[in-house]
A and B are shown apart, each in its own frame.
Chain A
């Protein structure tokens, strides 16, 4: 229960940092990185709660758009990969984050991704740092 509370705090911190930086005009997917990292640490139902909580906070319109569906599905897909290919979270999570971010951009905004490779590279680097921090905090 304590671990779950710590995970919840970390996710809320990621959502808060996203909001603070978005108000300054800088957006990055910290919550996605945390959720993919959590896929290598938490059980399915714990991950599902975190995942839906993030979707609840980030879904910004009455209809559920493609990018929100991709956002919700990627951590769960990472969990499935973890069950199929068990590995040390500290090493598996970064691979999951890189693959997850690339898939997220490819599914949500392929045209944008093609023209903003540097921006996406920066997003992945920040995602890796945030994700590794999340794994270390939960270890």
Chain B
């Protein structure tokens, strides 16, 4: 057998092995991707880090203090690790390591450190896909601040709270929280960063501050 022919058979074998792995053993691919992803490379010597940590802790504390005053979800939750993220730009979805066998169902709320991050979009036997609030197709009714002003959370790389009544009083730092059917009421989502008038001048809309980086989320809780 010539070396060129041998080379060809090796390639065909590799194609068959890869096709088999893609269809029947995709978890090895997730591991390969996880190995390619950078680990936590932040240095403790970075002077900006303590301040950033403090700011994040303050934001989280603020969110938690509001959450403590809201009705508690007593139904419990299912923990899951995050395996991988949608690789392209036009969706923001996470694959998590719990599925139908662990009691996960489509439409359930997903939280990270008590903060709502998205909804279960698809369920497999031992995995599920979570569509996060950073997905451009994500939309959900929410409420703003202690007065419970109605708004619509519109997802995307920079999510915003839209359709806020023009006369409503919303301020920077007000927390927005969940108020949608099928989702535990009052889960904190984000805080108002700035407000403006919508393009059609009929409503207010607000840009949002998030107390976490979705790209570094490694474990989540799913509402039962």
Give the interface of A toward B (CB within 8 A): 1, 12, 15-16, 18-20, 22-25, 27-29, 45-46, 48-49, 52-53, 55-64, 67, 105, 108-109, 111-113, 115-116, 119, 123
Contact = CB atoms under 8 A, between A and B. Distances in A.
A60 B7 CA distance: 30
B62 interface: no
A49 B14 contact: yes
B15 A48 contact: yes
B87 interface: yes
A27 to B, nearest CB: 4
A23 B136 contact: no
- Tell me the dominant secondary structure on chain A's binding face: helix
Given A16-B36, A18-B87, A59 B26 contact: yes
Interface string B207-224: 000000111100000000
Contacts of B213: 25
B215 A25 contact: yes
Contacts of B12: 45
18 contacts: A19-B36, A22-B85, A25-B215, A49-B15, A52-B22, A56-B21, A57-B29, A57-B33, A58-B87, A59-B22, A61-B84, A61-B95, A62-B26, A62-B127, A63-B124, A109-B88, A111-B136, A111-B137
Interface string B29-53: 1101100111000000000000000
A25 B83 CA distance: 17
Contact of A58 (B33, B83, B214): B33
Contacts of B84: 60-61
Contact of B11 (A19, A20, A28, A48): A48
